Amino acid sequence: MLPVVALVGRPNVGKSTLFNRLTHTRDALVADYPGLTRDRKYGQAQLSGHNYIVIDTGGIDGKEQGIDLEMARQSLAAIDEADVVLFLVDGRTGVSSGDDMLAEHLRRQDKPVFLVANKTDGVDALVAASDFYSLGLGDVYPIAAAHGRGVNQLLSQALSPFLQDWSDDNEHTDSDIDEPVIDEEALAEKQAQELEDLPIKLAIIGRPNVGKSTLINRILGEDRVVVYDMPGTTRDSVYIPMQRNERDYVLIDTAGVRRRGKIADKVEKFSVIQTLKAIEDANVCLLVIDARMGISDQDLSLLGFILNAGRALVLAVNKWDGLTQDVKDEIKRELDRRLGFIDFANVHFISALHGTGVGHLYESVEAAYSSATKRISTALVTRILEMAREDHQPPMVKGRRVKLRYAHAGGYNPPRIIIHGNQVSALPDSYKRYLMNYYRKALEMTGTPIRIEFREGE
Ligand code: GDP
Ligand code: GDP
């Protein structure tokens, strides 16, 4: 369950400011494919350790013409995609005619809308908010996006139905009040057992036209698998159960290959939200890149989302047919240069069109999945911690050495290693990176991000 929150409102009310605060901007995916304007931005944010998606829109004020009209269309599309809408107004200027228009549209929607009066810093928040009750959208939430005031309360409120779901998921973790100590190790073990019995959920991810449909058809054709058409709306990815090398898979088709019904055009077919949801739901993501287009910003954004979600990763550089050696060499150099930071993931050069290299993808997918779900025993990760410490001691902080005592598993897919010690918050990033690399080598993990977390005390 990956909730989607849309930010809408007139230009200049502070949507981008709020977006940046929620997502820390780094991973904004700007959907500037033909037909999608730059004005819809997608970012990943977190509340109480759970991911959600934020969509920022350019703004809408009801007087749009020309390019602005397209912008308005994007706002409406974002509302359509969202589970929750945050309608921002300017708490310093009071209601304007653009607000009326959007309020009316939102009142007709069958989805939760939160009316947010922004820029209430330095003014009386309640007085500023009171003007907006006339919009007929109920409570007004005063915030100051630029300073963060009121933002957490707002999001906790807006996402509370999902928080409820999330805590239902983890009933065994926090429902038992008599037992305050959560046994993370036991939970991790339970998760690992569950993962063992399930098929590998493999999402085929990539921008439009990189060859996802061709690849999926190739995979399905070659495997002569029993394919069930699973019902779903055009909004959802299609889930296709299949088998390969006696392993059960569920292929998550974001390209709509198996979708019934007519799809107007390519761009219509590509939905960022659908892609982000597929990433969240997958165990392994196969990121398809078009060799002929090089590595684009969107490829990097998608990669960022995959890594943020902690998913295992395999890269497929597609359309590798008919390229000269010079071009191939150049592409490989570009990959080294720009994707050096994911050197833990396997890269395959394939031709979905001709089938070249496609069969070998499974080896990497399975390797990535088994790395992501490989049991981490307390004895082993503690031993590795000791070795890492012997090779290179943690630094001194204020005359005392940071102590790292022992480690254990905190979860899988992605593997989480919890390290207990003293003064761990003072541990510099360079030493954290060192530990990360040390663990990656020692545990022989390919194709999955690893999370290392530190706990103070026993
Ligand atoms: P957008 O067009 O809705 O995305 O609005 P922006 O995020 O670009 O903000 C428009 C202007 O309002 C910028 O100059 C921001 O610095 C300012 N702004 C945004 N949030 C706040 C706030 O909480 N307080 C104040 N005083 N100014 C803000
Ligand atoms: P999608 O939008 O990612 O699903 O991309 P498609 O599978 O529809 O492919 C887009 C275009 O690229 C089509 O014209 C395909 O025939 C072409 N294409 C896909 N894979 C290959 C490949 O391996 N080599 C070449 N030369 N063309 C390909």
How high does pLDDT run on average in the chain? 84
Of 269-273, 320-324, 325-329, 380-384, least confident by mean pLDDT is 269-273
Whether 107 has a binding-site annotation, put simply, is no
Q: Report how far ligand 1's centroid is from the alpha carbon of 15 (Å).
A: 7
What are the structure tokens assigned to 151, written together? 């933002």
Q: Where are the beta strands (DSSP E) in 233-300?
A: 238-244, 247-253, 284-290
The whole-angstrom separation of Cα 150 and Cα 129 is: 13
Q: Which residue has the least CA distance to atom 18 on ligand 1?
A: 14
- How do residues 71-83 score in pLDDT, each as one tens digit? 566 677 788 889 9
Q: In whole angstroms, what separates CA 8 from the centre of its chain?
A: 21
Distance CA 86, CA 150 (A): 13
What tokens does 140 get? 């007004």
Question: Side chain identity at 63, as an amino acid letter?
Answer: K
Model confidence pLDDT, tens digit, residues 166-218? 665 554 444 433 443 457 788 888 888 888 889 999 999 998 889 998 999 89
For residue 331, give the H/E element and its range. helix 325-339
Does 213 belong to an annotated binding site?
Answer: yes
Radius of gyration for the alpha carbons in the chain, expressed in angstroms and rounded: 24
Cα(36) to ligand 1 centroid in Å equals 24
Q: Could you give the residue ranges of the DSSP H alpha helices within 227-271? A: 266-269
Q: In this structure, which amino acid lies at residue 353?
A: L
Query: Does 337 appear as a known binding residue?
Result: no
- Closest Cα to atom 25 of ligand 1: 119
Helices (H), 355-428: 361-373, 378-391
Pairwise CA distance, residues 360 & 262, whole Å: 33
Q: Quote ipTM for the complex.
A: 0.78
pTM for this structure?
0.77
Atom of ligand 1 nearest to the CA of 144: 23
Which amino acids bring their CB within 6 angstroms of ligand 1? 9, 11-17, 59, 118-119, 121, 144-147
Closest-CA residue to 415 (of 456, 387, 384, 377): 377
* 90 alpha carbon – ligand 1 mean position (Å): 9
Residue reference for tokens 């902690």: 310
Is 27 annotated as a binding-site member?
no
Please calculate the CA angle 443-448-451 and round it to the nearest 5 degrees: 75
Atom 19 of ligand 2, nearest CA residue? 211
- Specify the pLDDT at position 65: 55
State the Cα–Cα distance between residues 56 and 71, nearest whole angstrom.
11
211 C-alpha vs ligand 2 centroid, how far in Å?
Answer: 4
Interval between CA 290 and ligand 2 midpoint (Å): 9
Cα–Cα distance measured from residue 58 to residue 13, given in angstroms and rounded to the nearest whole number? 11
Tens of pLDDT, residues 369-403:
999 999 999 999 999 999 999 999 999 888 888 99
Looking at the CA of residue 255, tell me the nearest atom of ligand 2: 4
Ligand 1 centroid to Cα of residue 21, in Å, is: 11
Task: Tell whether residue 304 is among the known ligand binding residues.
Answer: no
Residue 91 has pLDDT above 60, yes or no: yes
SS3 content of the chain, % helix, strand, coil (to 5): 40, 25, 35
